[in-house]
Amino acid sequence: MRTKLVIDNVALSDHNEELGLYQFIVTFTDRSKARVFMRRDPEWKVSSVNRLLNIPCTICRKDYYCKCFEKHAPDIENQLVEGEHIQGALASKAQ
């Protein structure tokens, strides 16, 4: 089953300015969530994507750890960077 992951909300969870490492909690339109680790040097790149176990995987329907979201990392990265979700999350954390 092919599911398109569409980002609904992004929140900054943690960051290390010195190393350029950032951790975001991404909520998708299907209510699933993922922890996305990104590096900024100087362009944004996804290091890792881990699905949070709030609901079963919307791709494979497993209720335990799977690598489905990791396989969609390039698509998630494009949405985060092109949709300016990162800047919004950083701005809301600064307030």
Per-residue pLDDT reduced to its tens digit, 29-59? 999 999 999 999 889 999 999 999 999 999 9
pLDDT of residue 78: 95
* pLDDT score recorded for residue 83: 87
- At residue 15, the pLDDT reads 94
77 residue type, one letter: E
- pLDDT for 53-95, tens place per residue? 999 999 999 888 899 999 999 999 999 999 888 988 888 876 6
Judge contact between 59 and 65, C-beta under 8 A. no
Per-residue confidence at 23, pLDDT binned at 50, 70, 90? very high
Confidence of residue 10 (pLDDT cuts 50, 70, 90): very high
Residues 6+ apart with CB under 8 A from 37: 21, 22, 23, 46, 47, 48, 49, 50
